[in-house]
């Protein structure tokens, strides 16, 4: 009889990944950093799973002049869902390790990859709306100019240089996704355990 169970090291890794996802709820997920001659120390904004921190009030004041919407924590519906989503995937990792089934590992991997892609698409759409939906009556209007921050990397926006990159929580999510894919590939290639019912 063939038994499609996980290797002990895979189960231990899943438990570790679950713990990492719990940690990701309580650390910054993403960083947006602005630099300009008038702000040599720079301005930083940090997106957590449940809140915004950093210099976003100062950024709001600056963006008002070019017609960008102000950033308010209550405007992010994602903050009401993301902590629970990360908690769900943490519990799923623990459950897969406990139930010890290869099929469940494959399903968890696919679900988390879909979640990760949806997370990045949602973030991109927020940045797009934030940078393109401008007040036509703003004090400063540059024809044809939009102010969408980069999804990842650097972009010059007038006299501001904008950086966007994963913080601890975002790095954890990317790492978990990569490790889940590696585990799924290893378990798929690993020979199926055989149990001798006559022994």
The answer to whether domain 2-190 has CATH 1.20.140 is yes
Weakest-pLDDT range from 22-26, 78-82, 94-98:
78-82
Q: What is the pLDDT of residue 187?
A: 92
Q: What is the residue-averaged pLDDT of the chain?
A: 88
74-78 average pLDDT score:
86
Query: Per-residue confidence at 192, pLDDT binned at 50, 70, 90?
Result: low
Specify whether the CB–CB gap between 66 and 140 falls below 8 A.
Answer: yes
User: pLDDT tens digits, residue range 36-70?
Assistant: 888 878 899 999 999 999 998 888 887 777 777 88
150-175 average pLDDT score:
91
Q: Is the pLDDT of residue 129 over 80?
A: yes
């Amino acid at each position: 009889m063939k038994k499609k169970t996980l290797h002990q090291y895979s189960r231990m890794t899943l438990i570790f990944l679950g713990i990492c996802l719990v940690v990701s709820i309580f650390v910054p997920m993403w960083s947006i950093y602005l630099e300009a001659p008038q702000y040599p120390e720079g301005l930083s904004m940090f997106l957590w799973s449940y809140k915004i921190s950093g210099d976003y009030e100062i950024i709001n004041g600056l963006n008002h002049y070019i017609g960008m919407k102000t950033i308010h924590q209550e405007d992010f519906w994602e903050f009401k869902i993301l902590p629970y989503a990360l908690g769900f995937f943490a519990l799923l990792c623990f459950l897969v390790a406990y139930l010890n089934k290869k099929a469940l590992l494959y399903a968890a991997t696919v679900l988390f990859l879909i979640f990760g892609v949806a997370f990045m698409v949602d973030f991109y759409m927020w940045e797009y709306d934030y940078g393109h939906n401008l007040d036509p009556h703003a004090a400063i209007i540059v024809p044809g100019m939009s102010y969408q921050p980069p999804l990842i990397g650097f972009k010059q926006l007038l006299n501001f240089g904008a950086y966007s990159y994963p913080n601890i929580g975002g790095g954890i999510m990317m790492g978990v996704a990569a490790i889940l894919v590696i585990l799924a590939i290893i378990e798929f290639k690993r020979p199926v355990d055989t149990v001798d019912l006559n022994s």
